[in-house]
């Protein structure tokens, strides 16, 4: 769980980064918000467990940045 879980989890930020080039009309604001909360909570979790899971932290840190970027694109497009 300390290796394969975070490795499989990298699919989420990779997908968000790949979607940065897509039209913002396809961005789901609710899903982006949910993924921001999810990554924020699990960044904290990754540092609190023993031993600390820095691979999981890095994954959620990257996802938080990607989702915030998508959220900004969503807001600029719709508002």
pLDDT in tens, 17-52: 999 999 999 999 999 999 999 999 999 999 999 999
Number of domain units in the chain: 1
Whole-model pTM?
Answer: 0.88
Position 67 in a domain: yes
Model confidence at 5, pLDDT cuts 50, 70, 90, reads confident
Residue 60, in any domain of the structure: yes
Ramachandran category for residue 27: left, alpha or beta (phi over 0 → left; psi -120 to 50 → alpha): beta
**Would 66 be classed as within a structural domain?**
yes
User: Tokens 């989890």 belong to which residue?
Assistant: 9
Assigned domain for 26 exists: no
- Determine the length of the chain: 79
Range of the domain at 47: 43-78
Q: CA distances (Å), 15 to each of 42, 50, 51, 68, in order? A: 18, 29, 28, 14
Does residue 69 contact residue 20 with C-beta atoms inside 8 Å? yes
């Amino acid at each position: 769980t300390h290796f394969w879980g975070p490795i499989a989890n990298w699919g989420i930020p990779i997908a968000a980064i790949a979607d940065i080039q897509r039209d913002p009309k396809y961005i789901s604001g609710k899903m982006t918000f949910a993924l921001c909360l999810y990554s924020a909570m699990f960044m904290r979790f990754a540092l609190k467990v023993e031993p600390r899971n820095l691979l999981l932290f890095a994954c959620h840190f990257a996802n938080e940045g990607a989702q915030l970027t998508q959220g900004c694109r969503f807001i600029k497009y719709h508002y």
